[in-house]
Chains A and B, each alone.
Chain A
């Protein structure tokens, strides 16, 4: 791990943190429920990217499974929330 790659990972994680703060503002402020669901879905993707970059930084390739799990959970939760807003119940 050279200094350049370490700096790049720190920069990427800083970008994800800043983006998460921006999306969090939308999550708190969002006028309708669908804005909040969209922001939550984007937050899931940001956390998945942070875990991937941390895996590159620490050199452990076991982080890909964790990232895959987070992507799956994000999809399920967003789809369930959207279904709930649309129909009033998740499983009919």
Chain B
């Protein structure tokens, strides 16, 4: 059942998996250690992009070489993440800005719509 793949494919897949693990750990450490929410929003991009891309490309390479034909449907995960993640990030940024504004923090930028802001 388990068709063997060439050695270089195993090397490339292993390197991609290890890279993905390192990227994900770095992003999680950033989420834990950064101090402000607007700083904390940025490290997850590492897990969303490089972490997922490495694993997905490793899967494409491994299964394509094992089956002997090109299997591209794991690419759907990259496409899906690149569509949905910016929506979540923008919504969370708007949430943070809204709550900061309603909490009355001093240096919050005024809203773009509505009456002009009088300092």
A-B pairs with CB below 8 Å: how many? 155
Residue in A19, A32, A78 whose CB lies within 8 Å of B99:
A32
Say yes or no: B11 contacts A4, CB within 8 Å.
yes
B70 contacts A by Cβ under 8 Å: no
- Residues from chain A with a CB closer than 8 A to the CB of B62 are 56
Task: Annotate B34-49 by CB proximity to A: 1 below 8 A, 0 otherwise.
Answer: 0001001100100110
A83 to B55, CA, bound (A): 30
> If the complex has contacts A32-B37, A34-B96, A42-B31, are A49 and B80 also in contact, measured as CB distance less than 8 A?
no
Say yes or no: B94 contacts A23, CB within 8 Å.
no
Residue in B17, B29, B58 whose CB lies within 8 Å of A11:
B17
Per the 8 Å Cβ criterion, residues 21-46 of A in contact with B are 22-23, 25-26, 32-35, 37-39, 41-42, 45-46
In the A-B complex, the 7 residue pairs with the smallest Cβ-Cβ separation, listed nearest first, are: A15-B21, A19-B28, A8-B14, A75-B84, A82-B91, A22-B28, A12-B21
